[in-house]
Structure 1
Amino acid sequence: MIGRLTGTLLEKNPPQVVIDVHGVGYEVDVPMSTFYNLPANGEKLTLLTHFLVREDGQFLYGFGCEAERFAFRQLIKVSGIGARMALAVLSGLSVSDLAQAIARQEAGRLTKVPGIGKKTAERLLLELKGKLAEAVPAAAFAVEDSQHDILNALLALGYNDREASAALKQLPAGVSTSDGIRQALKLLSKA
């Protein structure tokens, strides 16, 4: 029904925003990945949306890009995953990280999202296998083996997915696994 909203951003109250579209204020729930990229209040904003009607109300969910909306729609098709849980997954993992975790069958990355237990993670891996690949460009899967090893090492050391990914992005291209881990730990200790 409502596929996109373009208007003025009135309020930001995580995870909800209010967008004024020609005098009508739409309350839209967004994942934190979209929330962090919102402009300041009073500025123009366009969100892709998913309109959900349930017996207890009507809900509007907004996304900054098509890949997020596509991933959200795939997530809510999984039994036991509602819209709130799908937003939590997209708030905890980027679409490319989610697609990589599913492609590599890494339940451990999914269980780091609050509310996702081992059984739910395994269900996500099973039911979403092969379904998110079209939402993410092939280049996103071209993470070199050393980068993948560095990321796994940081996660094993207790850093969360965001911290580990941020440190990984700051490493020089083509760094070896051992040097990458060492440099990433230095970067993370300064933060």
Structure 2
Amino acid sequence: MIGKLKGLLDEIGEDHCVIDVGGVGYVAFCSARTLGALPGAGEAVSLFIETYVREDMIRLYGFRTHLEREWFRLLQSVQSVGAKVALAVLSTLTTSELANAIALRDITMVSRAPGVGKKVAERIVTELKTKAPAFAGEATGTIGLKQELGEGVAPAPVADAVSALTNLGYSRDIAANAVAAALKEAGEGADSAKLIRLGLKELAR
């Protein structure tokens, strides 16, 4: 089984990329977010791989991070969710946004993904809340931060950092996710400049 590919990017298609590894071109199907983050043709690339083997084919799915691959696997444990729907969800939501949606039971956010109706979205947020508490738990800090921001009681450096990222064009949710991650790394006493810098680093991943 192939778990990771490291080589040169040969081409990018609508839903896949081709990675040249020692002269052999491997086709890896990816989310739109992963494809959008790939370098130019001919440049070095590394993807985590999920290998599907069937009687009539072998198909590879590629992911930028180990966490994205874990969510891909996890989503398919939900009834009516196959590889295509799982990729659609990961194309629409980042892993942190998906964790937030599950923790908050935000069915509307999950149903934004193409091919995901309200019933499937409801199954995702319901089943994964119990099946993957560790994944959903990664959003806890972000949920608390969003509540503080909404109530106007967030520490000034935190509010300033979220505001700065929002002014750069990021949505409030994405900015809050990034600042929550920055807080974990920098600690509660960090100033806004450090939170902004670490937040931008998080967004660039």
> Above 0.5 in TM-score?
yes
Residue of 164, 171, 177 corresponding to 1:167? 171
Equivalent position of 1:97 in the other structure: 97
Shift of 1:170: 6.6
Q: CA separation in 1, counterparts of 2:129 and 2:14?
A: 30
Secondary structure of the 1:18 match is strand
The answer to whether the Cα contact below 8 Å between 2:48 and 2:63 also exists between their aligned partners in 1 is yes
Q: CA separation in 1, counterparts of 2:83 and 2:40?
A: 26
The answer to whether the Cα contact below 8 Å between 1:9 and 1:19 also exists between their aligned partners in 2 is yes
Query: CA 1:138–1:126 in 2, change beyond 3 Å: closer, same or farther?
Result: closer
Amino acid corresponding to residue 59 of structure 1 in structure 2? R
- The 5 A counterparts of 1:134-153 are 134-135=134-135, 136=138, 139-145=141-147, 147=149
What TM-score, normalized to structure 1?
0.74
15-24 or 136-145: bigger deviation: 136-145
What TM-score, normalized to structure 2?
0.69
Q: Does 1:6 align with 2:10?
A: no
Shift of 1:143: 3.5
* Number of residue pairs the alignment of both structures matches: 157
Q: CA separation in 2, counterparts of 1:89 and 1:72?
A: 9
More helix by share: 2
Equivalent position of 2:156 in the other structure: none
Question: Any gaps of 5 or more consecutive residues in structure 2?
Answer: 152-168, 180-205
- The 5 A counterparts of 1:1-191 are 1-135=1-135, 136=138, 139-145=141-147, 147=149, 166-168=170-172
* Shift >3 Å, 4+ stretches: 130-143, 146-149
Secondary structure of the 1:129 match is helix
